[in-house]
Amino acid sequence: MPPDLPVGIHDLSFATSSLVLTHTELSKHTGANVAKYHTGIGQKAMSVPAADEDIVTMAADAAAPVITRHGTGRIRTLLFATETSIDQSKAAGVYLHSLLRLPSAIRVVELKQACYSGTAALQFAAALVARNPEEQVLVLASDIASYDLDSPGEATQGAAAVAMLVSAKPALVELCPATGLHTDDIADFWRPNYRSTAVVDGKKSAAAYLAAVDGAWRDYQARGGLPLEQLRTVCYHQPFTRMAFKAHQQLTNAAGIKSSNKAIESTIAPTTRYNETIGNSYTASLYLALAAVLDGNDTLGEETIGFFSYGSGSVAEFFAGRVVPGYGDRLRTRAHRETIARRRPIDYAAYLKLREHPLPHDGGMHLIPRQTQGNFRLCGISNHQRLYEVVGPLSA
Ligand code: CAA
């Protein structure tokens, strides 16, 4: 293999859930000034999963268009990154195997480290492709961010899945080899096996995130990373979009660059358009930021973009990618905008009802009525097993 054969993101598609709760509606319940949400944390709305949606159905909806465009012939590995795992044993990606009719000659595995594992999956995928450039890897990052009712974190929920096809000579983004890493064993956000919502110390988590920006950037620079001036923008993990602004402030300081708040706002603005209305999607959030940048501008060919991935607990990584000229022809901008626009707004009472009825644990047969607008749905649970079906045009 030639040493400089580029490897990176060949295709990217995302899906979100079918319902949406706006922060204006949330503020009627919490009594908060809506400006706290819109300006203070930079969130306008959050995707809420319907009763028949989960990380598997969203991931299938994200991946199906990628499979339709490229086929499955070269995909030998599926990496599924999630914080919202549905099973302690079986990888969520194995359910996709039947829903997407993937070949049997494929390895499927699930990865976990809070919001970071989508980046681990991307880097592992790049290494597999570098070893055998004929192979492609399907990376999925799918999550439902859920905090306790009436907690400060509740305003930073959301749901989405991203599918990325990683290959040699990619059509969208070539990954640059230098990466900067930072790990710190810290209790800022975590979710014990017996809980369906995260435990979080909000202020500590924001401080830990900013410390990780410094740590990952220092390592990135020590390993021959690009200077900040050469990066067109930086896509950050966005637990709420205002965090990206704070992170970029931190990064410019760490890089010794003086930058006005206005300049930071305008650098970051193209990265937040999807996340501000979808909310936190943990592992998918960083790649929704990338989708927003690419979908929002088709003149970025040859530009280099920085990426900062943060997963509480904590692991972080800084890396960069070069946008491939001609990428504009391969975007899914219309589909992405439609998946956001078609969500049905719900009021707080409807949101509460969904939260108060988790999947039964009794091992019995429970059917779930159809609510989703997606092509895949969780139709029931029986004998402790989730049952899925294809319901859209792909069922033919
Ligand atoms: N108008 C404009 N701004 C207002 C306002 C108003 N009327 N009222 C408040 N604000 C501002 C505040 O000044 C504050 O801004 P600064 O942070 O710049 O000071 C902002 O709105 C938020 O206000 P509070 O700090 O009072 O908000 P809070 O304590 O209720 O909750 C939070 C904020 C701690 C982030 C909470 O949402 C939370 O716990 N979220 C979950 C944890 C999280 O997302 N952590 C991020 C880092 S960890 C990570 O990235 C991993 C992950 O995905 C979870």
pLDDT at 357: 84
> Which among 216, 195, 345 has a CA at the least distance from the CA of 286?
216
Residue 2 has pLDDT above 50, yes or no: no
Distance 29 CA to ligand 1 centre (A): 17
| 200 pocket-lining for ligand 1 (C-beta < 6 Å) | yes
For 135-155, write each residue's pLDDT tens digit: 999 999 999 999 999 999 999
Distance 40 CA to ligand 1 centre (A): 7
CA distance 210 to 107: 36
Averaged pLDDT for residues 246-255: 98
Show which residues are catalytic: 83, 115, 237
pLDDT at 1: 44
Q: Would you state the structure tokens that stand for residue 62, as one six-digit string?
A: 């994200």
**What mean pLDDT is reported for the chain?**
96
Distance 33 CA to ligand 1 centre (A): 13
pLDDT at 3: 54
> Which among 387, 367, 369 has a CA at the least distance from the CA of 378?
387
Beta strands across the sheet bearing 45-48: 45-48, 19-22, 344-345
| 237 pocket-lining for ligand 1 (C-beta < 6 Å) | yes
Mutate to test the pocket of ligand 1, among 113, 182, 205, 213 (most ligand atoms within 8 A of CB): 205
Q: Which atom of ligand 1 is nearest to the CA of 238?
A: 50
Q: Which atom of ligand 1 is nearest to the CA of 310?
A: 50
For 308-327, write each residue's pLDDT tens digit: 999 999 999 999 999 999 99
CA distance 229 to 342: 38
CA distance 299 to 289: 17
> What is the pTM for the complete model shown?
0.97
